[in-house]
Structure 1
Amino acid sequence: MQLADDADNSRAGRVRRRRRSREISRYAGRPTRLLWRYVGRRKLAHVVVLASVLIAVGCALASQYGIKNLIDALPAGRAHPETVIRAFMILVILILADNLFWRIGGWTAARAFVGVTGDVRNEMFAYLSAHAPAFFADKQPGVLSSRVSAMANAVYTVENTVAWTALPPCLTMAGAIAMVAVVSVPMSLALVTVSVGLALWLFRLANKGTARHQAFAARAASVDGELVDVIGNMGLVRAFSSVPLECQRLDAHLHTESAARTQSLLYLEKLRLLHSATTALFSAGLLGWTLWLWNQGRATTGEVVLVSSLGFAILHGTRDLAVALVDLTQHIARLGEATQTLLVPHEMPERSDTQPLRIERPTVDFDNVSFAYSGRRPVLSEFNLHIRAGERVGLIGPSGSGKSTIFALIQHFYEPQTGSVRISGQDISRVTLHSLQSAISIVPQDASLFHRSLLENIRYGVPDATEADVRRACEDANCADFLAAMPGGLNTVAGDRGAKLSGGQRQRIAIARAALKDSPILLLDEATSALDTVSELAIQSALERLMQNRTVIAIAHRLSTLQTFDRIVVINRGRVVQDGSPTELAAVPGIYRDTLAGQRRRFAAPEVS
């Protein structure tokens, strides 16, 4: 009953993830809708921020009216001091309330806006990690990581800009225009007309600059990608004395980015200049109109001061609103550009009706599989292969014959165009990805390690493994000797991609990781090809222990490593051309016997000389 409940829960989780994935992909190129998605998750906090800003701006505007009352009360203040005191107390209360509500909004926003940023990063990483390997093959890691950060930063900046730069001047202008109506309704109507016209004009001009802002965002992401690419391959750069060349290449990218950024900023300055000239003329006209009313006896001295201060408030408000609109346009354009890069639909979404992989006997079958990478010729053509449970099978063949593609298809990195791949009789396209990955361990040619402790790297596939379990796996992988020499033992940090370890040490860590995972199917991808003889012997003995009681498929160029295997499968041009035991294939003409003879001559040559 518990297993059934777990399966139902897992199926419900997959349906939710699939639905969420489809939902998120719809936001590509729709940054405003994406913003509302995250704002909606923290509605209460955003309502508090909005209400705080609204009340604070209202108090600030009321303070202007309070000043007007205080000025009008002064002429008769000596005879009636209570009038002045009342006006003074009201003004003080309004000023205190103004500051209090700004602080309430600021405290709430500090948590809410940062929380939204975390939501964006988490969801974007989850969506990004669900892409098929082909997506990552076409993109630089630095570009993708910079897009995730750019999205989060853009959302945070937009929220801050709206809350503290765009919304207050909007409210100030609306309130100021309403208060001007107390002095003169025609003046208030004129302010409405001018303000709305100015805002629409600025918004239209700001929209025209979107292409410039998007171009800058794309160039900035490209520079980030180049930096990560070069820094990640710094050893290669130095080995080929290419530091000056890479500096020149980066300088060219920076020059392009700087030009795009300059175009974006100059357009912003053009908008600000036009706005400044317009609002200066507008304010002068407003003040002149108020003085004319005062001269006609239709406005008090306090009302002249009120309209003057409100006029400057409107002046500064339209200026701040113009700056905010331009900045918002720039950041929303950057957000839109990032969504178009990251939120492309998943090429291989997990089906909602998948079932967990149940392995009774770990067999592997390829049934009439044909596969080609996008835009390239077929790699496998009607490929058939049956591997029995517990069998050790070596794959050999010329480069490009399809060996690595077979491994990729077994792990469901790609979907074959025709045919099916089955494990324990189940089509892997109809099983959950998690259960498939749990059933397979791999020791790659170039062991990939995180910049984390060796302990974390080894138990990466089994996070809850005890340290005792890890140490047993290390003993099986012949790691104990060099781990004892490490300054921190298992707590030693491996460095970027395992840079602090030798090739042989990295391979043994990968073997320990696979041994700890204890999966029924083991893939070995040239696990000893780039090692010296001593390291190879240590790793061969570790691999021998690892292969016990597992179905093993190995890619190898050194045929000596496959002599204890049950079968050798020779692949050429996407088809099986030979299949048999090492002894059987060595006795018949073909690729295997020719390769074996060539390797024996090569290794024997030094001894002859």
Structure 2
Amino acid sequence: MELVDRSDRSRASRVRGRRRSRVLSRYAGRPVRLIWRYVARHKVAHVIMLVSVVAAVGFALASQYGIRNLIDALPQGRAHPQTVEYAFAVLVGLIFADNLMWRVAGWVAARAFVRVTGDIRQDMFEYLTGHAPSFFADKQPGVLSSRVSATANAVYIIENTVAWTAFPPTLTVIGAIVMVATVSVPMSVALVAVSAALSACLFWLARKGTSRHEAFASQAASVDGELVDVIGNMGLVRAFSAVNAEQRRFDGHLEAEAVARKRSLLYLEKLRLLHAFATVVLSAGVLGWTVWLWTQGRASTGDVVLVGSLGFSILHGSRDVAVAFVDLTQHVARLAEASQTLLTPYSMPEPPKAIPLAVREATVDFDNVSFAYPGRRPVLNELTLHIQAGERVGLVGPSGAGKSTVLALLQHFYEPATGCVRISGQDISQVTLESLQAAISVVPQDVTLLHRSLLDNIRYGCPDASEADVRRACEDASCMDFIGALPDGLNAIAGDRGAKLSGGQRQRIAIARAILKDSPILLLDEATSALDTASEIVIQAALERLMQNRTVIAIAHRLSTLQSFDRIIVMNRGRVVQEGTPAQLAQVPGIYRDTLARHGRRTPAPTLN
């Protein structure tokens, strides 16, 4: 049969996904550029918000000037009340405009910031799911999931900090210095010089503390990873009476995180202390300078009040800027660390010119394939194997012979060191991953189910299937008996990784899932290993129906499950050492016959160790 993409929309989506993945990898460890990428998607909203903030700060500063005019108008107020009334009206109008602009900025930001964080979560998840299985084998699920949330949360906090804590006081300080110039230009110039020197010093010191913030981010992610790992394996923990040991281990991780957090926060406090001392001295000097100008008759009473008010604005504004800046360094460092982990370039990227796999005849070929897992000896050594369309082939051999690796390479979980794997004559490394996955159904030994309904789990590979189709697949897989006994039937929740079902029940669900998917190639990895004898007889009949008109590759330690197969391939040390029909191999000296002989009979279900 020929597999084609479901629609032009699906093809376009894959193209956009590949392009987005290539672009995203360039932002690993570049937090500022990463933030700008998502802010730029909502430029209009951010511009409106920033203009509103600028206007709000401008009106707030103008209010200080309005207070000065009101104070200067009061001495002549009784003789000229209209002057006081005008100054009062202007001040009230400025205060109203100030508050209105803040509300506009907040209203727009509430939408823009949420959209930005949503875009980041979506893109990070899509990029993460594009990694090869080897990437996930080296990382804890909790660490990866926490980093997806960490990137979005860090960007959200950074945007909020810039918009409400850093940008407004920066404008306030700049505006206040400009207004001080109306009283004394030399005073304004001195403020600019001192502020610039203080900012440069804080920037330099903040950069020196980046390593402390990154260490804290890494420890926090490690704690999340340990937590998910233990909770996900709580059955194992209790089975080995390791609850107390895991609690002590987790306490150690918490202690390490606390130490890293403390080092990060104390460094920030040192910067805040330095800034507080500098701003107190600066404000006192500015106010003293203004009082001296007043004694010389070069400043009015209103000017003293204005500069005093502006001095406090500069004090509080510059303090807020410093606090925001040092906080930003911590969140930017956490964003950089999380993005560096998530946006690691793909080890097996889909080729830009990948084409859909067209399965006319479901043949499978391994052409001189060699493969080794990182840091280990070769598992496959120049393996050459041809499987005809519709042929049923069983893989047997001792542990470590390379059987599971054959199935993994066929699904393109890894790239061979040499040689290539072909389906229907096409090199699978040059086809789209979606079309390859559509061509293969798998019934694994360790069946994993999602924490969703049985209905969703069974039609996971065929989401458009009707409930009637699902029920037929369940009947063929002989699992309607236990599903019907559940209070919610097909709507029953499977539990975390299928924890609410027995091993045999999970395998029958996996068989139903494969029946419904209806792919031309079927991989069976110990598909009946968790079944008792009675259940195995029932499932063998279901598998027989499933295997009709399909190319089947099965790994089995129970040799009885392979007696109806067309060919048995015996592997050892990554090579094919024997092959033939079950009857032929039973007569030939070798691993297969030796296993039969150890159990004292030719055709039962021995186990290869």
Within 2, Cα distance between the matches of 1:182 and 1:344? 54
Within 1, Cα distance between the matches of 2:380 and 2:8? 37
Deviation at 1:562, TM superposition (A): 0.7
Q: 1:155 to 1:530 in 2, by over 3 A?
A: same
Deviation at 1:600, TM superposition (A): 4.8
Contact 2:428 2:436 in 1 (8 A): yes
**3-state DSSP class of the match of 1:74?**
helix
Partner of 1:480: 480
Contact 1:392 1:567 in 2 (8 A): yes
Deviation at 1:7, TM superposition (A): 8.6
Q: Deviations over 1:95-115 (max 9, x none)?
A: 111111111111111111111
Contact 1:504 1:536 in 2 (8 A): no
Partner of 2:304: 304
Contact 2:483 2:489 in 1 (8 A): yes
Q: Deviations over 1:302-357 (max 9, x none)?
A: 11100000000000011000100000000000001111111111011101112111
Deviation at 1:530, TM superposition (A): 2.7
Contact 2:559 2:604 in 1 (8 A): no
Within 2, Cα distance between the matches of 1:16 and 1:511? 34
Deviation at 1:15, TM superposition (A): 4.5
Within 1, Cα distance between the matches of 2:262 and 2:16? 44
Deviation at 1:22, TM superposition (A): 2.0
Q: 1:529 to 1:599 in 2, by over 3 A?
A: farther
Partner of 2:238: 238
Q: Deviations over 1:369-428 (max 9, x none)?
A: 111112211111110111111111100001111000000011011111111111111111
Deviation at 1:167, TM superposition (A): 0.1
Within 1, Cα distance between the matches of 2:461 and 2:326? 48
Contact 1:216 1:264 in 2 (8 A): yes
Summarize the alignment of residues 217-256 of structure 1 with structure 2, pairs less than 5 Å apart. Answer: 217-256=217-256
**How many residues matched?**
604
Summarize the alignment of residues 396-411 of structure 1 with structure 2, pairs less than 5 Å apart. Answer: 396-411=396-411
Partner of 2:544: 544
Partner of 1:496: 496
**3-state DSSP class of the match of 1:182?**
coil
Instruction: Identify the range of structure 1 (377-386 vs 19-28) with the bigger mean alpha-carbon deviation.
Output: 19-28
Deviation at 1:601, TM superposition (A): 6.1
Partner of 1:157: 157
Instruction: Identify the range of structure 1 (403-412 vs 355-364) with the bigger mean alpha-carbon deviation.
Output: 355-364
Contact 1:11 1:353 in 2 (8 A): no
Partner of 1:562: 562
Whichever residue aligns with residue 87 of structure 1, its letter is A
Contact 2:4 2:435 in 1 (8 A): no
Within 1, Cα distance between the matches of 2:141 and 2:9? 34
Partner of 2:195: 195
Partner of 1:508: 508
Whichever residue aligns with residue 82 of structure 2, its letter is E
Deviation at 1:599, TM superposition (A): 3.9
Within 1, Cα distance between the matches of 2:172 and 2:76? 31
**3-state DSSP class of the match of 1:523?**
strand
Partner of 1:326: 326
**3-state DSSP class of the match of 1:42?**
helix
Summarize the alignment of residues 374-385 of structure 1 with structure 2, pairs less than 5 Å apart. Answer: 374-385=374-385
Within 2, Cα distance between the matches of 1:560 and 1:537? 11
Contact 2:560 2:604 in 1 (8 A): no
Deviation at 1:545, TM superposition (A): 1.4
Partner of 1:108: 108
Q: 1:594 to 1:367 in 2, by over 3 A?
A: same
Partner of 2:183: 183
Within 2, Cα distance between the matches of 1:254 and 1:576? 50
Whichever residue aligns with residue 596 of structure 1, its letter is L
Contact 2:458 2:509 in 1 (8 A): yes
Q: 1:462 to 1:38 in 2, by over 3 A?
A: same
Partner of 2:52: 52
Summarize the alignment of residues 402-481 of structure 1 with structure 2, pairs less than 5 Å apart. Answer: 402-481=402-481
Deviation at 1:23, TM superposition (A): 1.6
Q: Deviations over 1:435-471 (max 9, x none)?
A: 1100000000011100001110011011111111111
Deviation at 1:223, TM superposition (A): 0.6
Q: 1:142 to 1:572 in 2, by over 3 A?
A: same
Whichever residue aligns with residue 366 of structure 2, its letter is F
Partner of 1:78: 78
Q: 1:299 to 1:172 in 2, by over 3 A?
A: same
Deviation at 1:26, TM superposition (A): 1.1
Contact 2:356 2:431 in 1 (8 A): yes
Whichever residue aligns with residue 257 of structure 2, its letter is E
Within 2, Cα distance between the matches of 1:6 and 1:566? 34
Summarize the alignment of residues 329-340 of structure 1 with structure 2, pairs less than 5 Å apart. Answer: 329-340=329-340
Deviation at 1:534, TM superposition (A): 2.6
Within 1, Cα distance between the matches of 2:273 and 2:549? 77
Asked if residue 287 in structure 1 is aligned to residue 287 in structure 2, the reply is yes
Contact 1:165 1:320 in 2 (8 A): yes
Partner of 1:369: 369
**3-state DSSP class of the match of 1:367?**
strand
Contact 2:596 2:603 in 1 (8 A): no
Q: TM-score, normalised by structure 1?
A: 0.97
Within 2, Cα distance between the matches of 1:6 and 1:531? 36
Q: 1:438 to 1:4 in 2, by over 3 A?
A: closer
**Taking every aligned residue pair, what percent have the same amino acid on both sides?**
74
Contact 2:498 2:506 in 1 (8 A): yes
Whichever residue aligns with residue 206 of structure 2, its letter is A
Within 2, Cα distance between the matches of 1:600 and 1:325? 77
Within 1, Cα distance between the matches of 2:222 and 2:355? 41
CA RMSD of superposed structures (Å): 1.8
Summarize the alignment of residues 14-29 of structure 1 with structure 2, pairs less than 5 Å apart. Answer: 14-29=14-29
**3-state DSSP class of the match of 1:422?**
strand
Partner of 2:146: 146
Within 2, Cα distance between the matches of 1:598 and 1:157? 66
Partner of 2:359: 359
**3-state DSSP class of the match of 2:360?**
coil
Whichever residue aligns with residue 165 of structure 1, its letter is T
Contact 1:507 1:539 in 2 (8 A): no
Deviation at 1:16, TM superposition (A): 3.7
**3-state DSSP class of the match of 2:523?**
strand
Contact 1:25 1:343 in 2 (8 A): yes
Whichever residue aligns with residue 594 of structure 2, its letter is D
Within 1, Cα distance between the matches of 2:6 and 2:546? 31
Q: 1:5 to 1:521 in 2, by over 3 A?
A: closer
Q: 1:503 to 1:569 in 2, by over 3 A?
A: same
Deviation at 1:555, TM superposition (A): 0.3
Partner of 1:589: 589
Contact 2:390 2:552 in 1 (8 A): yes
Q: Deviations over 1:12-54 (max 9, x none)?
A: 6555433322221111111111111011011011101101110
Within 2, Cα distance between the matches of 1:570 and 1:282? 84
Q: 1:150 to 1:310 in 2, by over 3 A?
A: same
Within 1, Cα distance between the matches of 2:383 and 2:527? 25
Whichever residue aligns with residue 90 of structure 2, its letter is I
Whichever residue aligns with residue 92 of structure 2, its letter is V
Within 2, Cα distance between the matches of 1:326 and 1:583? 75
Q: Deviations over 1:475-532 (max 9, x none)?
A: 1111110111111111101000000111111111111111100001000001111322
Contact 1:11 1:352 in 2 (8 A): no
Partner of 2:530: 530
Instruction: Identify the range of structure 1 (13-22 vs 237-246) with the bigger mean alpha-carbon deviation.
Output: 13-22
Whichever residue aligns with residue 79 of structure 1, its letter is A
Whichever residue aligns with residue 152 of structure 1, its letter is A
Q: TM-score, normalised by structure 2?
A: 0.97
Q: 1:499 to 1:8 in 2, by over 3 A?
A: closer
